[in-house]
Structure 1
């Protein structure tokens, strides 16, 4: 993941044929790609996840959910309650207090409303793009500092 508060968004590969909708989609893809880099870091620590559950505001968007399934190359499930952060915090609190023995009770409390399977054509496209995204993020590291300093001074 890009652990840099000075990181800025950028567009790469723009051509004259690109339109507003291409830019909007690129922003959405950038958000999901950043989540994917977090997943890659977690995989190094805990191994392959058994299930991807998406929650929060972005999980309301069918487009974002499908993008996540395609970029992650995994099924994505969305619980009935999009906003389940409070439930997660409460469950972790109960677990830390010893009131519940396992975190698996969450699955019993929250059913899945949506299920997205990866679209293999999209998976292949994103698989080709992933190393470019990661490489660019690393190569722009110094430039993030420069643009942040410029913006602090002039914007």
Structure 2
């Protein structure tokens, strides 16, 4: 989670601060892993071009670019049928994310976001109805007798 996104609440605040850059981390392990990016030791070498990296994950990600494989796709199925996205492919997840944030990408994911909003509204309506039904059940004549025992069961209003 990005610490700059004030709309989201972090369960574990980023308390581990890098002393060499502004980055913060929620775990000490993540900070230790990050600190290697500031060092000169680069033991992980690309088998294709010889570029060296401080972390094995970075080397593997880089080597994937040489293969030409683009496994991150702007495309998906909607539950109601149909698809979202333009089908454009990306070699890196970060580039797909950048695409989603672009004007074109926002158009691509609009059907997915619309579907999610419809689902959230339907869930909210279900919760509202269930709460209303619980309140109505609490006011049934049998429960009213317990509330007003001197008066006995209350007559129902004519429909």
Could you state the TM-score of these two structures normalised by the residue count of structure 2? 0.19
- The alignment's TM-score, normalised by the length of structure 1, stands at 0.19
Q: Which of these two proteins has the greater Rg computed from alpha carbons?
A: 2
* Structure with higher RCO (Cα < 8 A, 6+ apart): 1
Quick check: which one's helix share is greater?
1
